[in-house]
Structure 1
Amino acid sequence: MAHLYKKIIKGRTYWYLRETHRVDGKVKLKWQKYLGTADSILAKLEKAEQTGQPLRMQTRSFGGLFVAHALEQELDTIGLVDRIVGRGKRETGPSVGEYFFYAWANRMIAPKSKHALEDWYKNVAVEHIRPVDAKQLTSARYWEKWDRVSAEHLEAVQDGFFQRLWKERPSPPRAFLFDTTNYYTFMATKTPSQLSRRGHSKDSKHHLRQVGLGLLVDRETSLPLYYTSYPGNMHDSKLFHEVLDDMARKMTGFAEPGKDVTVVFDKGMNAEDNLAAIDACAGLHFITTYSPYFMEYMAGVPLERFEVLDIPKNHGLMDKGRGRDRLLAYRSGAELWGQVRTVVATFNPATYRKKMRDLDRRLESIRTELLDWRRKFRGQERHWTSPKAITTRYKKLCESLHVSSKYFHLDFGEGKMGFRKDQGEINRARKLMGKTIMVTDNHDWDTEQIVLASQDRYKVEHQFRASKSSSHVRVNPVFHWTDSKIRCHLLTCLLALTCLRLLEIKVKGKYSGGTIMEEMQNLNCVLTWNKGEKSPKVRIEDPNPIQEEVLKALGYAIKDGWVLQI
């Protein structure tokens, strides 16, 4: 909020209007305007009363919430939720659908906790876009409203939302990308929850309970089509098996009737039952990765038999004079999961060199440690007399460096300690470096098509990174203590994430969703109070080129301080 600020310079008092905000725990100046001395301020007020100039002015953020409102008009999330959940018999104030809208709009613009939501809405021009009493947007009211929303309600909302989203798309999807992530919580150990469990954290917060999320997106647009929450300790392959039937119905439902579809996933989903289920589903195909360690005969094919791929990345490397870094591929077939599959092995020279440097550095680090340990063992220093304890330390060192303990052999005897490299194991590891194995049942696809589809898994990973951004969406950390509230929180975050991606598509990929929202937040409206008028006059600032482009993509323009539909 803006406030008056006094400065005393050479004994004289000067007044400023300024606004501050907190950045990294420190108070920073946001903006400042010089008002003058008390006498000059009085003179300005007297002049304003005489000439009709405004007595008071105020600015509020307008653009971010207006964009969210424009998308809401298109997607109708409020109407969808209200049709499914309905109003309570004695319910007053905003509906459940409106509470969801005010939550996902905030997640999309500048995510705040439910406790801070009320104050945040008081500082944006909500009453001029979608009027609401900000005092109604308290955390207590959110818990009260969300208590009425069941898991079945949320599933129906999800289905309706994605159907509405894809109804307007110019072409149906043909290939899908599926992956999983997890979000940490600060939920206490004794708090009952089926979703929040301890497991392998992808944010390396293994000591915290976490919630899993599986996300299916369209390969071409990166727009979500389906998501599911699951316990944080569930393995990816088990989740994939549980949701595959549901996902298959969604994929074939969104696709063009009679056309085959392909789902792309990584090796964490591989399991005999999962691939058998895909084989049994007519019209559904797959592309997955496979560990080179379990298919050494493919990874060990001499590079002379690999061919340069005809893909855009290789063309770009040639243009930059880096032809030696072009991606190579070798194609063959193998019987996997009970059927013959097409198998493609790729080799990335740049990745190979990087991994070689990393391995050499880590092996040298281990050798240095072993030399020091040998000296301590020979000197019979305290804590360094037991071969078993030293072997345990060695395995822990290898684990911390993510290196196999098979690369060195330790020998003990007659008060001596020795060690030697196992060059055979090291060469075996080097043979697999830079190699990626891809498996598919799309036998009629070109090698380039298979490789590009598999590489496109980065698109769903990009959506996960966006969901964990501190500036927008921000699923992490999950400050909710019941499974029902966690599910509601995930829905609002997925709505915000989808809308950000939709904005990127509307501006034809020229700007990221984060850039769009940062720019639109800075589009303000100006409120002016004149003498004798109870209500302020509202005018919108002139937009900058990016803001103007975003508004045009949504079908709006600002003219003479007003927002008009084009």
Structure 2
Amino acid sequence: MAHFHIKKKKGRPYLYVREIARVNGKPKVISQTYIGSPDRVASLVKGQSQEITTLKAEEFGALWLAQQADKDFDLCSMIDEIIPPADREKGPSIGEYFLYCVWNRMIETVSKNKLSDWYKRTAIQHIRPVDLNELSCKRYWDKWDRVDEKTLNTIISKFFRRLWQVEKPSSDCLLFDTTNYYTFMGSQTLSKIACRGKNKEGRHNLRQIGLGLLVARDTRLPLFYSIYPGNIHDSKHFESIMEEMFRVACDLNNTKERLTIVIDKGMNSEGNYTWIDEHSRVHFITTYSTYFAQELAATPLDRFEIADTARNRRLIDEERREECQLAYRTKKEYWGKERSVIITYNPRTARKKSYTFESKLDTIRQELLAMRTKVKEGAAHWKKAEDVQARYIRLCQRLHMAPDLFTLNFETSANGLNMSFRKDPYIVKQKKLMFGKNIIITDNTDWATKDIIEASLDRWQVEDRFRLSKNEDLVGVQPIRHWTDSKIKCHLFTCVAAMAYLRRIELKLKSAGIERTAENVMDDMKHLHSILTLPKGARKPTRRLETPSKTQAEVLSAFGHHINEGGVLQPVT
């Protein structure tokens, strides 16, 4: 309840509005707003000011939405059951430290150093009161120091089991992929998981941490994740976690007789598929590099037919048959067994690659003409055939083109070195036949071609989760600001939990007929404020919510609430 409070400084009275709530069972001032001098207070009380005076406005909508996403989980209690408060421990519990971090990563990510200041702009004290001075980076360090690896794994396992109970994913097809996140951790800082490797953001000079993510195909909800050193190859990491991952997936999805995991070519290795072949419930769909199957990828298009996919049916209805994806199915031995192999052809991709390819061929030709002129003129450094050949290879590497597309010939005469070149038409033709082609391999020989293609294409769903994790405003995994492995693992758990909550919000809205992304919804709801006002002639301030916009009202309604004319949030009856 808000009330006026008078402070005297050097004998002069000053008026504040105070709000008190119970924090850890004890009454505490959660908000204090300066009003002004006695003269201004008198004018406010007498109604000489405007109809309604806004004393304070705080972000409410997005934080309330984050609280709704946590209702089915109660993450704080879940963690506190595993790590109960220590003797004489004061302030927020470890579960609350995790919860307040997850909520922040759902709305507007900031570092732990700025977390307290960020929460001061929000209506957190009217949603879940907390002593904001306790939400400091030092206190996070002290609290998370009590979370060892075994305990964190217990928290993660319990969280995902609860997620499966709440959502009950019905799909028997799961998607797995990996990514990495860079950190500014110094080279001298000890870490087993922050290592230099091929960074997907191009930050190869920085140490990075790898993350593998398993996602349910029907809901895009994360079901399992693993952290690994940034210098480990994807296939090696996949091999190391297969047993654990599939055990977890099979335990969670105990009603399914078989599970299919969709992966990309980075996970391919004979050992991995030998393990899958020996597992009775697990099957796979993967892609295969056309570089290692050029003869297969060069299959003539007259053997292809239009795939019966949802996208193709839509294109046919729009009379755009020429844009349809084509497919050719066969069988071939891979990794010691005969597999179903599908080659797909995308006309649009083929046209783009052909245009780029022809442009690069022309660039190489122009450069070769210039090289030939320099050789003919006997220019310095152009008198040895091996030097010219090396320059040509470097040119091809720079353009990411194979050097066998052109053949260079050199002859030595009385006038010096002569050079000629010719394009190899057969190799050029074979390269063009591969454009727009993609190879899919699976042991699901009983699946229809369209089902295999659509499952492979759905890998975008896990890639979409990675894009969200690298969003600067939501989730915001990188840059990782922690510098010990245990704290990094706690940080990554809060990010994955935030991803899960945000996706659940999208699913809840979708079930209400509202197709919106989490980014769009959170940005919209951030502008729904809780305001402290002093109506004209009133003798005490009151708190109310702003009148929601149409889109904000739709979101509130989807979660079973509305804001009445008095600015009070109420359940829909």
Q: Same fold (TM over 0.5)?
A: yes
Q: Which of 298, 301, 307 lines up with 1:300 in the alignment? A: 298
Q: 1:472 to 1:258 in 2, by over 3 A?
A: closer
Q: Which of 514, 520, 526 lines up with 1:515 in the alignment? A: 520
Alignment partners' CA distance in 1, 2:538 and 2:383? 89
Match of 1:561, as an amino acid?
Answer: G
Give the C-alpha shift of residue 95 in structure 1: 0.9
Q: Which of 547, 550, 569 lines up with 1:563 in the alignment? A: 569
- 1:498 corresponds in structure 2 to 500
Q: Which moved more, 1:364-373 or 1:385-394?
A: 385-394
Alignment partners' CA distance in 1, 2:47 and 2:364? 82
Contact 1:184 1:209 in 2 (8 A): yes
Give the C-alpha shift of residue 238 in structure 1: 0.4
Contact 1:525 1:538 in 2 (8 A): yes
Match of 2:455, as an amino acid?
Answer: A
Correspondence list, 1:166-181, <5 A = 166-181=164-179
- 1:32 corresponds in structure 2 to none
Give the C-alpha shift of residue 531 in structure 1: 11
Q: Which moved more, 1:93-102 or 1:290-299?
A: 290-299
Q: Which moved more, 1:198-207 or 1:510-519?
A: 198-207
Q: Which of 537, 543, 548 lines up with 1:538 in the alignment? A: 543
Alignment partners' CA distance in 1, 2:322 and 2:478? 41
Q: Please report the TM-score for the alignment, with normalisation by the length of structure 1.
A: 0.88
Q: Which of 66, 69, 74 lines up with 2:67 in the alignment? A: 69
Q: Which moved more, 1:374-383 or 1:199-208?
A: 374-383
Q: 1:541 to 1:305 in 2, by over 3 A?
A: same
- 2:129 corresponds in structure 1 to 131
- 1:97 corresponds in structure 2 to 95
Alignment partners' CA distance in 2, 1:458 and 1:330? 22
Match of 2:520, as an amino acid?
Answer: T
Match of 1:259, as an amino acid?
Answer: E
- 1:27 corresponds in structure 2 to none
For 1:168, what is the secondary structure of its paired residue? Answer: helix
Match of 2:188, as an amino acid?
Answer: K
Alignment partners' CA distance in 1, 2:386 and 2:47? 92
How many aligned residue pairs are there? Answer: 527
- 2:46 corresponds in structure 1 to 50
Contact 2:169 2:219 in 1 (8 A): no
For 1:75, what is the secondary structure of its paired residue? Answer: coil
Q: Unaligned regions of 5+ residues in structure 1, if any? A: 1-37
Q: Deviations over 1:227-271 (max 9, x none)?
A: 011111110110110110111112212224252110000111111
Alignment partners' CA distance in 1, 2:92 and 2:534? 29
Give the C-alpha shift of residue 397 in structure 1: 2.7
Contact 1:332 1:343 in 2 (8 A): yes
Q: 1:64 to 1:372 in 2, by over 3 A?
A: same
Q: Which moved more, 1:366-375 or 1:217-226?
A: 366-375
- 2:29 corresponds in structure 1 to none
Contact 2:189 2:483 in 1 (8 A): yes
Q: Unaligned regions of 5+ residues in structure 2, if any? A: 1-35
Q: Which of 434, 438, 453 lines up with 2:436 in the alignment? A: 434
- 1:87 corresponds in structure 2 to 85
Q: 1:382 to 1:493 in 2, by over 3 A?
A: farther
- 1:478 corresponds in structure 2 to 480
- 2:469 corresponds in structure 1 to 467
For 1:539, what is the secondary structure of its paired residue? Answer: strand
Contact 2:305 2:327 in 1 (8 A): yes
Q: 1:44 to 1:382 in 2, by over 3 A?
A: farther
Contact 1:173 1:254 in 2 (8 A): no
Q: Which moved more, 1:427-436 or 1:219-228?
A: 427-436
Q: 1:106 to 1:384 in 2, by over 3 A?
A: farther
Q: Which of 427, 439, 451 lines up with 2:453 in the alignment? A: 451
Q: Deviations over 1:84-104 (max 9, x none)?
A: 222223321111111111111
Contact 2:396 2:402 in 1 (8 A): yes
Contact 2:169 2:218 in 1 (8 A): no
Contact 2:332 2:339 in 1 (8 A): yes
For 1:94, what is the secondary structure of its paired residue? Answer: coil
Alignment partners' CA distance in 1, 2:38 and 2:141? 48
Give the C-alpha shift of residue 147 in structure 1: 1.2
Q: 1:382 to 1:538 in 2, by over 3 A?
A: farther
Contact 2:294 2:434 in 1 (8 A): yes
Alignment partners' CA distance in 2, 1:400 and 1:252? 47
Q: Which of 182, 186, 191 lines up with 2:184 in the alignment? A: 186
Q: 1:537 to 1:437 in 2, by over 3 A?
A: same
Correspondence list, 1:206-355, <5 A = 206-355=204-353
Q: 1:375 to 1:67 in 2, by over 3 A?
A: same
Give the C-alpha shift of residue 542 in structure 1: 1.4
Q: 1:273 to 1:378 in 2, by over 3 A?
A: same
Contact 2:263 2:286 in 1 (8 A): yes
Alignment partners' CA distance in 1, 2:231 and 2:297? 32
Alignment partners' CA distance in 2, 1:98 and 1:442? 45
Match of 2:140, as an amino acid?
Answer: Y
Alignment partners' CA distance in 1, 2:285 and 2:343? 13
Alignment partners' CA distance in 2, 1:550 and 1:253? 34
Alignment partners' CA distance in 2, 1:274 and 1:539? 59
- 2:27 corresponds in structure 1 to none
Q: Deviations over 1:485-520 (max 9, x none)?
A: 111111111111111111111110610000010011
For 2:280, what is the secondary structure of its paired residue? Answer: coil
Q: 1:273 to 1:149 in 2, by over 3 A?
A: same
For 2:118, what is the secondary structure of its paired residue? Answer: helix
Match of 1:260, as an amino acid?
Answer: R
Let me know the Cα RMSD of the aligned residues: 2.3
- 2:23 corresponds in structure 1 to none
Alignment partners' CA distance in 2, 1:263 and 1:367? 45
Give the C-alpha shift of residue 480 in structure 1: 1.5
Alignment partners' CA distance in 2, 1:552 and 1:65? 16
